[in-house]
Amino acid sequence: MISLNDILTLLPESFLTVAICALLLLDLFLKPAQRSVTHYLSIVALAVTGWLVLQHFGTPTAFGGMFVRDGIASILKVFVLLTSALVFVYARPYLRDRGLFVGEYYVLCLFAVLGMMLLISAGNLVMVYLGLELLALSSYALVALNRDSPLSSEAALKYFVLGALASGLLLYGMSMIYGATGSLDLVTIHKAAAEGTQRGLLLFGLVFVVVGLAFKFGAAPFHMWLPDVYQGAPTAVTAFIGSAPKLAAFGMAYRLLESGLDGVGGHWQLMLALLAVLSLAIGNIAAIMQSNLKRMLAYSTISHVGFLFLGLVNGQPEGYAAAMFYAISYALTAAVAFGLILLLSRAGFEAEEIDDYKGLGQRAPWYAFLMALTMFSLAGVPPLFGFFGKLLVLKAVAVPGTLWLAIAGAVFAIIGIYYYLRIVKVMYFDDPAEGAAAIVKPADAPMRAVISINALALLVLGVTWGPLYGWCARALGITP
């Protein structure tokens, strides 16, 4: 029986659904020249949804526990909506230059956002799967948005095939868990897992669930799709799938592992520890060799996923709060990084090779400065935002028992610093290449303003990250 409470609890999601459908219809009647209306309305829809998320209408759970609305969900949703809106602003000039400025981009992105919100709030395995697939299917289509580009189509196909495989694994694991516990409800599973009935079957399912998760996160050794997709997709799409979904992935991991399978924590913690170290190693080392910036950022994502997993390894609230903070800092930083690639590209010039950034410090000092901030933040140099994410994660594992993970994280952070510095080096210490890339086109005003604020926020949040972490910590029930 659907009650009023259920609807109120789901109000942000319901509103977004209605808004998407309305946009889809409206877009049909718009001439290409009026496409900006779709653009601005999408951002308004995201803003209103964000406002609704913060209003806390309704009850903590809805639809018989299918849907959970707690502090974690609210924080993650707010940042999913924020990063998506940022990406929309950054993507517009790029899409327009390439004839990709179509309503589908916005509608697909918004559907993906909806999927993420459902995934973050999932209280039931079915809900997890539904949210995930809504996100994944929209992403496949988005990657293929530029259908005339063979690279883009290839990436989409690869993404689709491997993503489907991952979904299959996840679903298989879920069926095992259902077999072991007799329920799809995460609370019931939690209880059953703690009681230890059907241990063997449960662990069997757990392995598949963790593999499915690792696949979606892009953690090594299940990362093969990620570099190709990041490089092949139009940059406007890479910016989207490279930022907000990391928040959703954290939400999914939290729901499945903590809310659901906490009882067998010792087992998945070891798996995550191995995945984390492997991701840190492969991501950081492979990134060194890349000459394409998008591909380099893809490998850097893999290494950041490794760091994020480090936060989950101990299964402690402090670790979850650190991982959540890390995901937020990563999403905001990645948005700037891809945003700057979008900003510097123009029709016929993708600005995605590292060599394209030669001498940017002379050609466009302000953008070079923003890019340098982003790179130092990703590298984890204080006082930038990214450092404090790393700090919190390292703090979570720098305890007896997992100290080796902290040391591994530190070692790979050192290796990682090299390729971020290389970007700074290319921008500031190399002379501009002759000819084509010498001119930076003037970006459109809203984008310039937003990206500047976004990048400077990395510096400001580096000094005033206390309240944000406090928010994350309180959501996980930590009292300082």
Partner 1 sequence: MFANWPWLSLLIWLPILGAIPVLLAGDKRPGAARAIAFGVAVLTFIVSLAMLSGFNHAVADALARSAPDLGLLKNMYLQENVLWIEALNVRYHLGVDGISVALVLLTTFTSVLVIILGWGSVDEKVSQYMAAMLVLEGLMVGVFCALDALLFYVFFEGMLIPMFILIGIWGGARRVYATLKFFIYTFFGSIFMLVGLLYLYFKTGTFELAELAQVSLSAQEQAWLFFAFLIAFAVKVPMWPVHTWLPDAHVEAPTGGSVVLAAIMLKIGGYGFIRFSLPIVPDASTEFAWLVIAMSLIAVVYVGYVALVQEDMKKLIAYSSIAHMGFVTLGIFISLALARGGNANGAAIGIQGAMVQMISHGFISGAMFASVGVLYDRLHTRMIRDYGGVVNPMPRFATFFVLFAMANCGLPGTSGFVGEFWVILAAFQYNPVVGALAAFTLIIGAAYTLWLVKRVIFGDVANDKVAQLQDMNARETFVLATLAVAVLLFGLWPQPLGNLMDAPIAELVKHIVISKGA
Contact residues: partner 1, CB under 8 A: 361, 376, 381-383, 387, 391-392, 394-395, 398-399, 403, 406-407, 410, 413-414, 417-418, 421, 424-425, 428-429, 465-466, 469-470, 473, 478, 480
> Are the CB atoms for 210 and 169 separated by under 8 Å?
no
From CA 297, how far away is CA 231, in angstroms rounded? 9
What is the DSSP pairing of strand 67-68 with strand 61-62? antiparallel
Which of 182, 470 has the CB closer to partner 1?
Answer: 470
Placement of tokens 């700090």 in the chain? 391
Taking the complex as a whole, the smallest distance from the CB of residue 469 to partner 1 amounts, in Å, to 5
- Residue 360 Cβ vs partner 1, minimum distance, rounded to whole Å: 13
- Report the nearest approach of partner 1 to the CB of residue 432 (Å): 14
In the complex, the smallest distance separating the C-beta of residue 344 from partner 1, rounded to whole angstroms, is 20
Question: Which single residue is written with the structure tokens 């079915």?
Answer: 126
Nearer Cβ to partner 1 (106/469):
469
Q: Which is nearer to partner 1, 51 or 429 (CB)?
A: 429
Token couple for 434: 């002759």
- Beta carbon of residue 474, minimum distance to partner 1 (angstroms, whole number): 9
Residue 79 or 428 having the CB closest to partner 1: 428
Instruction: Report, in Å, the least distance between residue 219 CB and partner 1.
Output: 22
- DSSP string of 288-303, one letter each residue: HT--BHHHHHHHHHHH
Alpha helices, DSSP H, located in 29-149: 35-55, 71-97, 103-120, 125-143
Residue 19 Cβ vs partner 1, minimum distance, rounded to whole Å: 36
Q: What is residue 255's DSSP assignment? A: I
Maximal C-alpha separation, the chain: 69
44 vs 414, beta carbon nearer partner 1: 414
Rounded to whole angstroms, how far apart are CA atoms 163 and 165? 5
| C-alpha closest to that of 265 among 256, 277, 276 | 256
Q: Nearer to partner 1 by C-beta: 193 or 277? A: 277
Percent helix / strand / coil, the chain, rounded to 5: 80, 0, 20
Which residue, 318 or 353, has its beta carbon nearer to partner 1? 318
30, 63, 120 from 2: Cα distances, Å: 37, 7, 21
Cβ–Cβ under 8 Å, residues 480 and 470: yes
User: Residue 243 in contact with residue 207, Cβ under 8 Å?
Assistant: no
**19/328 with CB nearer partner 1:** 328
17's tokens: 């659904």
Nearest of 53, 84, 85 to residue 70 by alpha carbon: 53
Select 221 or 470, whichever has its Cβ closest to partner 1: 470
**Which residues in 165-191 are b (16+ Cβ under 10 Å) and which e?**
ebbebbbbbbebbbebbebbbbeebbe
- Beta carbon of residue 414, minimum distance to partner 1 (angstroms, whole number): 5
Supply the minimum distance, in Å, between the C-beta of residue 287 and partner 1: 15
